[in-house]
Amino acid sequence: MKDLGYCPVCGSEGVTRERRLNGDDTCIKGHKYPSKDAISTREESILPVVRKRLEDLLRITSEGVILELLRQRRQEPEKWKNVPGFGRETNDNGKFK
Ligand SMILES: [Zn+2]
């Protein structure tokens, strides 16, 4: 089987390549991407998977932190009243009303 590298979306093997200038590859899972974006080594094919995991982790962590701050504000509104964005209502330009 000819080596078409790996998918930049999921890291799976590329299975088809269009025979035209600026053509696309398709991976075994059906993602379509420019041939030039194919990942060349098996070692680096892990990158899209790691990137996705890290993005998920950061998103989950960020949401967790925001929810915790909102919970604290609910419990101790006095402590938060002077914190921009967490206390008094602000206008669209960030100024207190
Ligand atoms: Zn893919």
Domain ranges of the chain: 14-46, 47-80
Rounded distance from Cα 35 to ligand 1 centre (Å): 12
Rounded distance from Cα 33 to ligand 1 centre (Å): 9
Which pLDDT score, from 0 to 100, does residue 21 have? 93
Rounded distance from Cα 17 to ligand 1 centre (Å): 13
- pTM confidence score: 0.63
Rounded distance from Cα 64 to ligand 1 centre (Å): 30
Q: What tens digit of pLDDT does each residue of 23-33 get?
A: 999 999 999 99
Cα–Cα dist 50/20, whole Å:
31
Helix, strand and coil content of the chain, in percent to the nearest 5, comes to 40, 15, 40
Rounded distance from Cα 56 to ligand 1 centre (Å): 18
